[in-house]
Structure 1
Amino acid sequence: MSRKEVFFMKNSNYNSIYGLYIEQFIDMKLKLGYVYRTFSTILSQLDRFAEQTKETSPGITKEFAGKWSERLPNEGELYRYRRVRLLAQFSSYLCDFGIQSYIPKLLPHPKSTFIPYIYSQQEIDTIFRACDELRLQVANMNSCLFCFPVLIRLLYSTGIRISEALALEKDDINLIENYLLVKDSKNSKQRIIPISTSLASVCKEYVYYRDQLPLNKTKIKKFFVNTNGNSPSSNAILSRFKECLTKSSIPYVGGGQGPRIHDMRHTFAVTSLANMAEAGIDLYASMPILSNYLGHQSFDSTNHYVRLTSSMYPSLLKDIDKVCFDMFPKFNNYETD
């Protein structure tokens, strides 16, 4: 359990008849390895809803579940699905304590039409050049340009998430044995990522100039820093990335449709699968490797990349239907964060 999660728990403010049970439910979830932020908002809404409906005794009723399951104004189907699913889990938890509760039927999982953007090698080369050519218009010690070109290359070369990259500390990257350690991940899975010699060389050059900054070296904790030694914000990184897309003549659609910086991760996964297939590595062997490398909790997320790779490289994965399509359910939703 992280210090942040402990802080949230100690500062929780659940006031309904279910307040104590919600805190216990959260404690159980955290001990099972779930991340607090993924369900805390919905549970807070559930607590307020119980207050508003003046629930006086514990035990989810069919009427309460029905009202809770109604679609809210401007609410997406996916969020509604998550709300109903979490209520069903919480109600089941209450039943385990001998508190009779109605468990609502789950709604059909909404299908996502999201398709990740896969950068071509030519686009990647153009983005790298655009990163290198970025210049400050005015002096700004809080600018992320100092580390930006290296960060983008690392995202493309390793497939780690932007949040994981920005969370890397100085000692998390070993440039002697060429690997990095991801500790602050989406699924709370610590993993070691090997890096190429060329990426290690780029990182070494960055470290050399970073260590020349007139800063107190003991105060620099993160690997990627601004010129003043502070960690760059994700918003600043995303803003600079959009600028690079413009310079690279890659249209930015927006509205979550990209092309996004997270699509570097999708590109890494697809090109890795294609390279392994071209090298003759059996998918039964490559799937677990890639899944663990990306930090996925299950093969489902990794399998989406198999389908995408098969559509982009049909000659490489011509037998994909025979190998994998009957093993994994046909979902359209891709990892989006």
Structure 2
Amino acid sequence: MTGLLRDGLVDYLALRRALGYRLDRPEKLLGQFLDHLEHAGQSRITVAAALDWAQRPAGGGDSNWWAYRLSAVRGFATYLHTLDPEHEVPAAGLLPQRPHRASPYLYSAADITALVAATSSLRTPLRRATFATLIGLLAVTGIRVGEAIALDRGDVDLTAGRLVVCHGKFGKTRELALHPTTIDALRRYQRLRDRLAPPTGTPALLVSAAGTRLLYCNVHHAFHRLVNRAGLTPRAGSCRPRIHDLRHSFAVAAMLEAYAAGQDGQTRLTLLSTWLGHVHPASTYWYLSASPELMAVAGQRLEAHLASRP
């Protein structure tokens, strides 16, 4: 009964991905929504059906998660409505989403050293080397976890000292310069990888013990274990050590380094936004605003600037 809807979903996802969206999670959610419609014997999208599915599990769940699920249906329903007005489009704000962002856990150099040391507790030499390399790479480049997992060996030029991020957000590609110590670490990892990894033929730079590309969920699970092993604890209920916070820490460290060197903060911020692959500078400002140390330095520079004005 939902065959036409499933065909429509294929076309919808193809259109959105052609515009640069990845849609891995929405694809999974929308497949579950169509299962829900099929079970209910419905062949078109209604607001009532969308709300019923979005607010599951009944009597529990997070309102932000419910709103996200409904927004996934809204995008698909809007597309179908242009083809067949019988499909209803849930109104925006029908399930209000409260803005909430976790406070970044800014890692110190000692924290990162402890995380890398904790990889010695992992089962195999290859797994230990892979996670030590992953943590180090995230800490010194600020790339996203998904971008690191998606790296192929051909994306890293160890001779030129360049790393090409080919799978950034919205399909954007950017090239990053690597420090000589990072190049040496990657070269050592590749030698060990070639010696220990099963010959699966994967082009992935970072591989699992099975010789396959790392999985996002497995990386997060392993990182939580490493956090516990390293003795890192939450600083508040909304400030817990997450792997993504290595990116925040890189951004803050880059700006503190610029201020310490007497460089122009705005120029460094513009370069940093490009380096991180942010589409909007506001995203970079958010990364920096959670650091009291950085805000203090920026405030001191502003006061000095105002005091120097005639």
Common fold, TM-score beyond 0.5? yes
| Alignment check: 8 A CA contact 2:142 2:248 kept | yes
User: d(CA) in 2 for partners of 1:177 and 1:206?
Assistant: 17
Counterpart for residue 79 of structure 2: 93
Q: Call closer, same or farther: CA 1:319–1:43 in 2, change over 3 Å.
A: farther
Matched, 1:20 2:7: yes
Letter of the 1:30 counterpart: R
Question: Cα deviations across residues 272-302 of structure 1 (Å, max 9, x unaligned)?
Answer: 2333344455554344432332233433432
Alignment of 1:9-48 (within 5 A): 15=2, 18-48=5-35
When the two structures are aligned, how many residues end up with a matched partner? 299
Amino acid at match of 1:250: L
Please tell me whether residue 79 in structure 1 is matched to residue 65 in structure 2: yes
Partner of 2:128: 145
Q: Which residue of 2 aligns with 1:271?
A: 253
Provide the rounded CA distance (Å) in 1 between the counterparts of 2:302 and 2:32: 43
User: How far 1:305 sits from its partner (Å)?
Assistant: 0.9
**1:27 counterpart letter in structure 2:** A
Gaps of 5+ in 2: 304-310
Give the aligned CA root-mean-square deviation in angstroms: 3.8
Which residue is equivalent to 2:308?
none
Cα deviation, residue 175, structure 1 = 1.5
> Residue 121 in 1 paired to residue 109 in 2?
yes
Match runs of 1:252-267 below 5 Å: 258-267=240-249
Residue matched to 2:100: 112
Amino acid aligned to 1:313: L
Identify the range of structure 1 (218-227 vs 190-199) with the bigger mean alpha-carbon deviation.
Answer: 218-227
- Name whichever structure is richer in helix by fraction: 2
Matches of 2:56 and 2:121 in 1, distance apart?
A: 48
Q: Secondary structure at the match of 2:290?
A: helix
Pair 1:191–1:88, CA change in 2 (3 A): same
Shift of 1:236: 6.5
Match of 1:221 among 203, 206, 220: 203
- Answer yes or no: is the 8 Å Cα contact 2:202–2:212 preserved in 1: yes
**1:1-337 alignment to 2 at 5 Å?**
15=2, 18-55=5-42, 58=44, 60-61=45-46, 63-64=48-49, 67=52, 70=55, 72-73=57-58, 74-97=60-83, 99=85, 101-107=87-93, 108-131=96-119, 134=120, 140=124, 143-211=126-194, 213=195, 219=201, 221-225=203-207, 230-231=212-213, 241-242=223-224, 244-251=226-233, 258-282=240-264, 284-309=266-291, 311-318=292-299
What do the CA deviations read for 1:309-331 (whole angstroms, capped 9, x no partner)? Answer: 3x332322218999xxxxxxxxx
With normalisation by structure 1, the TM-score equals: 0.71
Task: Give the SS at the match of 2:64.
Answer: helix
Q: Deviations over 1:33-61 (max 9, x none)?
A: 211313112322332333344435x5x55
Matched residue type, 2:252: V
Tell me which amino acid in the other structure corresponds to 1:78: N
Q: Secondary structure of the equivalent of 2:128?
A: coil
Q: Is the 8 A contact 1:277 1:316 kept in 2?
A: yes
% identical aligned pairs: 24
Q: Partners in 2 of 1:101 and 1:114 — Cα distance? A: 36
CA contact (8 A) 1:94 1:101 kept: yes
Cα distance, 1:231 vs. partner? 4.7
Kindly indicate whether the alpha-carbon contact (under 8 Å) linking 1:16 and 1:50 is maintained by their aligned counterparts in 2: no
TM-score (norm 2): 0.77
Q: Look up the SS of the partner of 2:164 in the other structure.
A: strand
- Which amino acid in 2 is paired with 1:272? A
Per-residue CA deviation, residues 110-143 of structure 1 (Å, 9 max, x unaligned), is: 2215212111223223434445xx2677xx57x4
Alpha-carbon offset, residue 151 of structure 1: 2.7
Sort the Cα spacing of 1:78 and 1:321 in 2 relative to 1 into closer, same or farther, 3 A: farther
Q: Is the 8 A contact 2:164 2:176 kept in 1?
A: yes
Cα distance in structure 2, aligned partners of 1:66 and 1:216: 47
